[in-house]
């Protein structure tokens, strides 16, 4: 299984992706580590990325997923994947599943204000919500929505239970 933990900046993608990877015994990738310096500089200056800015980055992430797709332990990717078109690039095979971390603007803004070590500043959160196209979630889809107000371990348990149930005949 390839899990993409997605959502706006500050929703907890890294924390949840790391926890899922530990539980699965799988490697995890942080999409932020694959941004070209120009993207990081742009966001650090308070400017949101465009589709053009994201295109090469998404292609690189898809290639990373393809390289790991056949490994039995799978892989977990923490990536914003804000638009359906971005998620389509990341759907490198039928094993890709999305864990959509969903929360209120206020909760996420407070989390962003509390962190000091990230290039994405709280001022860009509104643009993230404007760009966000929520995935269709639930039975018959490849996505599940998680309430980020819950404890990380609860989210991990719920996600694994959901995707395990979805794989049952």
Contacts 24+ apart (CB under 8 A), 34-43: 34/60, 34/61, 34/64, 40/119, 43/119, 43/120, 43/121, 43/124
Domain count for the chain, please give it. Answer: 1
| Rounded Cα gap, residues 46 and 61, in angstroms | 23
Q: What is the DSSP letter of 98?
A: E
Looking at residue 65, which CATH number applies to its domain?
3.40.50.300
Quick: pLDDT tens for 10-47. 888 999 999 999 999 999 999 999 999 999 888 888 78
**Over residues 146-162, mean pLDDT:** 94
Mean pLDDT of 115-127: 62
Task: List pLDDT tens digits, range 58-89.
Answer: 999 999 999 999 898 899 999 999 999 999 99
Residues in the chain: 169
Range of the domain at 80: 2-167
């Amino acid at each position: 299984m390839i899990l993409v933990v997605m959502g706006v900046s500050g929703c907890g993608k890294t924390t949840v992706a790391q926890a899922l990877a530990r539980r699965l015994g799988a490697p995890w990738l942080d999409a932020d580590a694959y941004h070209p310096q120009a993207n990081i500089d742009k966001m650090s200056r308070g400017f949101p990325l465009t589709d053009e800015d994201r295109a090469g980055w998404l292609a690189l992430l898809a290639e990373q997923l393809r390289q790991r797709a056949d490994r039995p332990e799978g892989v977990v990717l923490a990536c914003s994947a804000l638009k359906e078109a971005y998620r389509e690039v990341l759907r490198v095979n039928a094993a890709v599943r999305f864990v959509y971390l969903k929360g209120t603007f206020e909760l996420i803004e407070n989390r962003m204000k509390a962190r000091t070590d990230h290039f994405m500043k709280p001022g860009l959160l509104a643009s993230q919500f404007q760009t966000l196209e929520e995935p269709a979630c639930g039975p018959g889809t490849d996505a599940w929505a998680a309430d980020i107000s819950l404890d990380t371990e609860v989210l991990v348990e719920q996600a694994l239970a959901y995707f395990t149930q979805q794989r049952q005949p």
